[in-house]
Chains A and B, each alone.
Chain A
Amino acid sequence: AQEVTWWDFLSGGDGVRMKALIERFNDEHPDITISGTTLEWGVPFYTKVRTSVAVGQGPDVMTYHLSRMPLGLEEEVLDTISEDDLAAAELSKEDFFPASIAAASDEKGALHAVPFDIHSIVLYVNKSYLEGSRFLDGDGNLTGIDNLEDFEEALALAKENGSSAPVSYATGDDGGTYRVFFTLLKQLGGELIVDGEVLPGDNMEKAAKAIEVMTRWHENGWQPEQAEYAASVALFTSGKSAFHMNGVWEVPTMVDMETKDTLGFDWGAVQIPNLMGTTATWADSHAFAIPAGTNMSPEKRKAVMTVIGWMEKNSLAWANAGHIPAYKPVANSDAFKEMEPNATYSSLAETAAYDPRSAIAGVASPVYDAAINIISPAMHGYMDPQQAAEQIKSELQSKLQ
């Protein structure tokens, strides 16, 4: 029997569902055993990957963010996945959304990862703060937020109604800050990196504008100060926030609490409204990748591909974690189309805004560093938005050389 060493960074609802999937796989495949390790998300995970690959101690298969693909390629930690490999997994490139295949390939078109899902941030709502206002329609669905003014009006209203942090997101965290910033930037029609240039032209103004909005939310006491990830979630679940901007992966948390009746309010999740003029939402993809230099036997490689293929085909269970499957047969299935609340925000797939394709972007990249080291301090008042935008530009530009 083959033992497949598996690394992931999946915690929270993701982690629970992935563990369940692995268990199911192991049950169904007596000849293959997945032995999984879960490492801390973000920098620690990618540091470990890098070090382990360097010393030939990497796993057989691992989860990887497609946003990080260029960086991963530059670090040379990813093996290519050939057509034969895909065939072994009973997959082909055509089974996936073209965008995700492009994101998983290098310049020459060689595939380095198998996309698994698309995930983005969404807007969670605590309806109790909006009751009787114009922001809830007859069915109790969120409505009437078509621009920034509307949203801020809703925030002010929630504040009035006693919400201590009307819109919570992880303001003290690289991921949380970055995702909101990037969403706002994209909604302004901005670009982070164009042709190897960081914030060229008026993109700088747009970045400053995005930071300015976040700063205002801070100054008005609408968003929590320096919230760590867990705290930002807890603010929402404990009923202190009217809105919560976070990844779809927290959907199961809400669902679970609702079933257990510990949530204490009516909740909903919608696509991030168009606040700045363009509809856009930050998105990323999880994918499976094989570390470089493992020199695994053909049998082992086949087992690994079997794992990947199986996971893709069973990604409906993964969609349970709020994600949109990257594997078209599942994504287009009726079962998925009926899944709630995914259906509510599945439209975002069209407006998903991925990280720029650059070796300084993606999870645990200099861009994320900039979020925690520049944007987060800026919105907490340590520098003004314009300054922050300039600093982002100079800092990242220097990394690009």
Chain B
Amino acid sequence: MTRTRKLENWILTGGSLLAAAIWTFPLYWAFITSIRTEDRVVSDGAGVVPDEFNLSSYVEALFNTKLLTWYWNSIATSVIITLVVLISGMMCAYAISQMRFPGRRLLYGIVLASFMVPSQALVVTQFILMNDMGLINTWAGIILPQLIVPVVIIVYKQFFDAVPKEMREAVVLDGGGDYTLLFKIYLPLNWGITTALAIITFIMSWNQFFWPFLVVTTENMMTIPVGITQVNDAFGVYYARLMSVALLGAMPVAIAYLIFQKKVTEAVMISSGVKG
């Protein structure tokens, strides 16, 4: 390698590290703010170098708000959404991909079209519907409208399509039916894509703001993203507390991401169809 190319590499590496550092600076700053006392936060000369390590605002956030309840709501609804979306999506995709029944093309057409339909535009009537069903302020109310994730069906279908026909025929020759095929063969064969879709669906529903914000009115039913905006339970100056609530809210998924980074990266790529 020539010297200029080496130098270039150094500049590139240094440059991208710097850019990444700048990119993540807001998170760093939020963290620094959160471990300061409120007075320190707004005093002159509170620079970017951490000079205090004070967890009082975290203690406040954890015990003076309903953060723990919101965690529970977020986890429960996200997990249920993920499970239901995956299972129903998988079943539907299997039928579209592997079976012949009247309306199959139409169904897939609808799935493809609903990919483009803005569900946010439906909030008003979805809200009315949830009210008619008495589901305001319930998990079911939070969950139901989030159950339509067409991309899950589209991706599953693509992957099921790619399973060799012989796999199916082998099972048929062995005397297995469609449920055997789906749950004993197609599903285990596509564990990778299932985890990928699960990760994406989970992140999506965990971060959902608009709908839970509408359908939940009581503090006890709020999810994390809604809870942290609805309640500024602090007085006077509350920046440190605000940042600690925000960081605590972001923590679970952020930690999960940092641990399963490769998997998440792959999941995004797969579910957007850029990589199969």
Contact = CB atoms under 8 A, between A and B. Distances in A.
Whether chains A and B associate is yes
Interface of A: 5, 11-16, 35-40, 44, 48, 51-52, 55, 57-59, 230, 233-234, 237-238, 250, 252-253, 257, 262
A155 B233 CA distance: 33
B238 interface: yes
26 contacts: A11-B235, A12-B234, A12-B235, A13-B235, A15-B233, A16-B235, A36-B219, A38-B231, A38-B233, A39-B230, A40-B232, A44-B230, A48-B217, A55-B131, A59-B218, A230-B236, A233-B236, A234-B236, A234-B237, A238-B39, A238-B42, A238-B44, A252-B235, A253-B235, A253-B236, A257-B39
Interface of B: 39, 42-44, 131, 136-137, 214, 217-220, 229-239
A44 B229 CA distance: 10
A19 B87 CA distance: 44
Given A39-B231, A51-B217, A253-B236, 14 more contacts: A13-B235, A37-B218, A37-B219, A38-B219, A39-B230, A40-B231, A51-B214, A55-B136, A230-B237, A237-B42, A238-B237, A250-B235, A250-B236, A257-B236
Contacts, number: 71
A44 B44 CA distance: 33
Interface of B, helix, strand, loop or mixed by DSSP = loop
Contact of B137 (A13, A57, A257): A57
A161 to B, nearest CB: 16
Contacts of B238: 230
A11 B237 contact: no
B220 A37 contact: yes
A237 B219 contact: no
B237 A237 contact: yes
B230 A15 contact: no
B42 A234 contact: yes
A253 B236 CA distance: 6
A237 B39 contact: yes
Nearest to A254: B236
Contacts of A238: 39, 42-44, 237
A11 B219 contact: no
B235 A14 contact: yes
Given A57-B136, A237-B42, A11 B232 contact: yes
Contacts of B230: 39-40, 44
A170 to B, nearest CB: 13
Contacts of B136: 52, 55, 57
Given A51-B217, A57-B217, A233 B237 contact: yes
A108 B231 CA distance: 36
B220 A15 contact: no
Contacts of B217: 48, 51-52, 57-58
Nearest to A262: B39
Nearest to B231: A38
A5 B235 contact: no
Contacts of B214: 51
B18 to A, nearest CB: 31
B219 A40 contact: no
Contacts of A55: 131, 136
- 10 closest A-B pairs (Cβ-Cβ)? A12-B235, A253-B236, A37-B219, A234-B42, A234-B237, A55-B131, A52-B217, A238-B42, A57-B136, A13-B235
Contacts of B239: 230, 234
A233 B237 CA distance: 7
